Amino acid sequence: MKSRDTVTDLLIVGGGGTGFRAAIEARKFDVDVLLVSKIPTNSANSTSLAGGWLIQYPKGEEDNFFRRTVEESGYLCNQQLVEIYVEDIPKRIPELREFGVELEMGENPQPRRYGRPCIQYRSVPKVKEPSGFGLMRPLRKAALDSGVKVFDEVMVIRLMTSDRSVVGALAIDLKNRELLTISAKSTLLATGGGSQVYERADGNPPGTTGDGYALSYLAGGELIDMEFVTFTLPTYRLKEVFEAVDPSDGAILTMGGSHYFNGGIRIDGACKSSLDGLYAAGEVAGGLFGASRLGGSALADIIVFGARAGQSAANYAKSIEHIEPNKEQTQEEKHRLEGFFKSDGISPREISTEIKSIMWKYCGIVRYEESLKKTIKELQRLEEQSLRMKVSSLNELREAMEASYMLVTAKIIATVALERTETRGGHWRVDYPYPDNKRWLKNIIIHKGEKTIETRTESPPMTRLNTPTKPHIGTPWSGYLIPSFICFPGSGDSKETSFR
């Protein structure tokens, strides 16, 4: 494979709405911006396939919207991030018109699905296609018009580091069959979520394989709240979740799918990660939503924090000089890639298919100690096999890298899901079927140890609301469960189930 080097001020990884909104903002600060995407940026991604609704709130309802967001998070959100989110929504969403996005404002037509009635904007495409294209296409055009350079079909396989700083990335140019070393003063991950780690992924296109989580984690960055995956599930089937004797078998596995990752790369108010020079925004970032989020929040998040991340990463890039990427790291990756082509082992597709099956059966909608331990054991077996993945084309090489990302992401989810011995938001433990504010009003922070996944717990930052209410069980997509039939302590022996 040929090698090529390139240099930029800011590298953005990910060609969805977050990446392009960040790129537009960064160009305002007169920095060179290179955006890379493993799929063509004019094709279907999570933003373009979204319903097009951007959450909004009526004037004067700021405090109520703040409270609703915090309560939906199970009080695990970083309230400093929520403050920014609530403050910026009224200006950032209407601002989309400046980039050519057509907007109409109206009452949410599906208040039950989205939690509670609220005023929202909707992006309107000019042709008959998913509404998200009405947001995605104008953002892409505005970014290109501003001078953003775009490399399609370029897959980042490693963040290049110097001490605790990210100084660029190593990528595979799938079109030109080249190994690309990108030197960058700052790097911004906008890679979306990881729903394709599961066998059933509702509304998420192929390619949402947890790339950003794995890239950051392997580079030494911190993740947060990775146990909180939102699954779609018909409301009338909720009771079955907590009555399931063997959640890995039966009808429950035929319902719903993985929809959204509430956790991700731990960021501060400037969208900076725990590593210098590395920023993150959108679904790949964690801290804003905690255990669950309101409907329509995902698209508002990518606009608000995409802009903020672009500004922060640009300002950082302007403040430092280039640091030459470590050639030893490049050689390590070359050696690893060459090994895949020489191997006579298992195919990447076999690995990824098994990951999806294991995660859906044992670490999906329903979780309990035995199933989670089984998940970790099976993933460790696949991890050993993955070292001998065999590829014969660049397309298979992409599949091999995605399988590697999926393994890292899946192991992290299972590890922290086992650690959190309660039910809260979208994390449903049938062996610990109620929330436990006394023990678990805490975030689980994840980082890479020498040989294992290491974790610690921290109390979430609370700026305004510091007296938690009883956390929700369930999500806006599946309704909320008042699980009296599972007997909260002191709740008596009632077997009734009710929803709100």
CATH of the domain at 64: 3.50.50.60
Q: Determine the Cα–Cα distance for residues 183 and 169; give it in Å rounded to an integer.
A: 7
- The CB density around residue 322, as the number of other CB atoms within 10 Å, is 14
- Give the pLDDT confidence score for residue 232 in this predicted structure: 87
- Give the pLDDT confidence score for residue 48 in this predicted structure: 86
- Give the pLDDT confidence score for residue 475 in this predicted structure: 81
Task: Find out whether 74 and 136 touch, Cβ atoms under 8 Å.
Answer: no
Q: Look at 82-91, 193-202, 370-379, 484-493 and tell me which has the smallest mean pLDDT.
A: 484-493
- Give the pLDDT confidence score for residue 161 in this predicted structure: 96
Asked whether residue 365 is assigned to any structural domain, the reply reads: no
Asked whether residue 245 is assigned to any structural domain, the reply reads: no
- Give the pLDDT confidence score for residue 170 in this predicted structure: 97
Instruction: Name, of 214-223, 464-473, 475-484, the range with top average pLDDT.
Output: 214-223
Q: Please state the rounded mean pLDDT for residues 384-403.
A: 94
Beta bridge partners of 286: 266
- Give the pLDDT confidence score for residue 125 in this predicted structure: 64
Helix axes 211-218, 394-419, angle to 10 degrees: 80
**Strand ranges, E, within 17-99:** 33-37, 53-55
State the Cα angle at 314 between 163 and 290, rounded to 5°. 75
Asked whether residue 332 is assigned to any structural domain, the reply reads: no
- Give the pLDDT confidence score for residue 51 in this predicted structure: 75
Q: Please state the rounded mean pLDDT for residues 20-26.
A: 98
Q: pLDDT grade, residue 494 (50/70/90)?
A: very low
Q: How far is CA 70 from CA 132, 246, 278, 336, in A?
A: 26, 33, 26, 44
pLDDT value at 460 more than 90: yes
Q: Determine the Cα–Cα distance for residues 21 and 259; give it in Å rounded to an integer.
A: 22
pLDDT value at 253 more than 90: no
Asked whether residue 472 is assigned to any structural domain, the reply reads: no
Q: Determine the Cα–Cα distance for residues 85 and 134; give it in Å rounded to an integer.
A: 22
Task: Give exposure, 158-177, as e/b (b: 16+ Cβ within 10 Å).
Answer: bbbbeeebbbbbbbbbbeee
Chain center to CA of 191: 8
Average pLDDT score, the chain: 89
Q: Which domain holds residue 19?
A: 2-193+260-319
Q: Is 422 left (phi over 0), alpha (psi -120 to 50) or beta?
A: beta
pLDDT value at 245 more than 60: no
pLDDT value at 18 more than 90: yes
Asked whether residue 134 is assigned to any structural domain, the reply reads: yes
Quick one: which H or E segment has residue 480? Answer: strand 479-482
Q: Please state the rounded mean pLDDT for residues 181-209.
A: 94
Q: Could you tell me the pTM of the whole model? A: 0.93
Percent residues over pLDDT 70 in the chain: 88
Asked whether residue 435 is assigned to any structural domain, the reply reads: no
Task: Find out whether 328 and 295 touch, Cβ atoms under 8 Å.
Answer: no
Residue 458 CB burial class (10 angstroms; 0-12, 13-18, ≥19)? exposed
pLDDT value at 121 more than 70: no
Q: Please state the rounded mean pLDDT for residues 318-322.
A: 95
Q: Determine the Cα–Cα distance for residues 248 and 253; give it in Å rounded to an integer.
A: 7
- Give the pLDDT confidence score for residue 57 in this predicted structure: 82
Closest C-alpha to 14, from 320, 305, 232? 305
pLDDT value at 485 more than 60: no
- Give the pLDDT confidence score for residue 249 in this predicted structure: 61
Residue by residue, what is the 3-state secondary structure of 138-177? HHHHHHHHCCCEEEECEEEEEEEEECCEEEEEEEEECCCC
- Give the pLDDT confidence score for residue 296 in this predicted structure: 83
Residue 291 CB burial class (10 angstroms; 0-12, 13-18, ≥19)? buried
- Give the pLDDT confidence score for residue 104 in this predicted structure: 76
Q: Which residue has the higher pLDDT, 254 or 387?
A: 387
- The CB density around residue 124, as the number of other CB atoms within 10 Å, is 13
Q: What is the DSSP letter of 441?
A: -
- Give the pLDDT confidence score for residue 71 in this predicted structure: 94
Q: Please state the rounded mean pLDDT for residues 138-159.
A: 97
pLDDT value at 23 more than 80: yes
- Give the pLDDT confidence score for residue 235 in this predicted structure: 67
- Give the pLDDT confidence score for residue 112 in this predicted structure: 40
Q: Look at 6-15, 125-134, 240-249 and tell me which has the smallest mean pLDDT.
A: 240-249
pLDDT digits (tens, 9 = 90+) for 34-82: 999 999 998 888 888 887 778 888 888 899 999 999 999 999 999 999 9
- Give the pLDDT confidence score for residue 492 in this predicted structure: 32
Query: 3-class SS at 221?
Result: coil
Q: Look at 271-275, 286-290, 403-407, 487-491 and tell me which has the smallest mean pLDDT.
A: 487-491
Task: Find out whether 204 and 26 touch, Cβ atoms under 8 Å.
Answer: no
Return the C-alpha torsion angle 204, 423, 443, 159, nearest 10: -30
Instruction: Name, of 1-15, 92-106, 222-236, the range with top average pLDDT.
Output: 1-15
- Give the pLDDT confidence score for residue 242 in this predicted structure: 67
Q: Determine the Cα–Cα distance for residues 72 and 115; give it in Å rounded to an integer.
A: 9
- Give the pLDDT confidence score for residue 317 in this predicted structure: 98
- Give the pLDDT confidence score for residue 58 in this predicted structure: 80
pLDDT value at 497 more than 80: no
Q: pLDDT grade, residue 172 (50/70/90)?
A: very high
Q: Determine the Cα–Cα distance for residues 315 and 31; give it in Å rounded to an integer.
A: 9
Q: Determine the Cα–Cα distance for residues 219 and 121; give it in Å rounded to an integer.
A: 38
Closest C-alpha to 408, from 159, 211, 246? 211
pLDDT value at 284 more than 90: yes
Q: Look at 126-140, 160-174, 323-337 and tell me which has the smallest mean pLDDT.
A: 126-140
- Give the pLDDT confidence score for residue 413 in this predicted structure: 98
- Cβ-proximal residues to 263 (8 Å cutoff; 6+ apart), any chain: 223, 224, 225, 226, 227, 228, 286
Asked whether residue 199 is assigned to any structural domain, the reply reads: no
pLDDT digits (tens, 9 = 90+) for 294-317: 888 999 999 999 999 999 999 999
Number of domains in the chain: 1
**Strand ranges, E, within 195-301:** 223-224, 229-232, 257-261, 264-266, 278-280, 285-286
